[in-house]
A = this chain, B = another copy of it.
Amino acid sequence: MRITYRGDYALKAVLDLALNEGRVVTIHELARRADIPIKFLEQVLLDLKRGGFVESRRGKIGGYLLSKPAAKIKLGEVARFIDGPIEPITCVEKNYSGCTDIYKCVFRAIWVEVALATSNIIDNVSFEDLANQVRSHKREFEYSI
């Protein structure tokens, strides 16, 4: 699995929306806070919308918001949707049909293990978890002033 800029931006955007759950956030705010080229972010947000992760409102008081509770959006879902399969090699991905002698390949088993270990991590973290981490970190930071 490799996270591209596109993926990184998508995750940051969703996290920002999670931190602002209930509000509608404009693309300008998102772009500024997360330091993302706005035109690139447009594409990413459209993708996220098509993926069912966010909704949008047009017009003067428009912007973006999560289409479901942050608690129900897993890091892994977004990462896979934007950057593709987490499997480290094609022969381990779903629906792969090359390799007639899959059962002979000693590497395949390793890559399956790696994929499972990865999904075990990223599919068990929700954006609510992440938002809470940010919030508690911010609190800590303010106390320390």
Contact = CB atoms under 8 A, between A and B. Distances in A.
A3 B115 CA distance: 12
Contact of A2 (B1, B75, B107, B133): B1
B107 A130 contact: yes
Interface stretch (A25-33, A49-57, A62-70, A118-126): A118-126
Contacts of A137: 104, 106
Interface in A1-40: 1-3, 8, 11-12, 15
B118 A11 contact: no
- Kindly report how many copies of this chain are found in the complex they form together: 2
Contacts of A2: 1-2, 88-89
Interface magnitude class on chain A: 20 to 34
B107 A11 contact: yes
Residue from the set A104, A114, A117, A133 with the largest chain B CB neighbour count within 10 Å: A114
Interface string A112-145: 0110011011100100001001100100000000
Contact of A125 (B12, B15, B110, B122): B110
A-B CB proximity, top 9 nearest: A117-B117, A3-B89, A106-B133, A106-B130, A1-B88, A2-B2, A113-B121, A3-B88, A114-B118
Given A12-B107, A117-B117, 15 more contacts: A1-B2, A2-B2, A3-B89, A3-B111, A8-B89, A15-B106, A75-B107, A88-B118, A104-B134, A106-B133, A107-B130, A114-B118, A117-B120, A117-B121, A118-B118
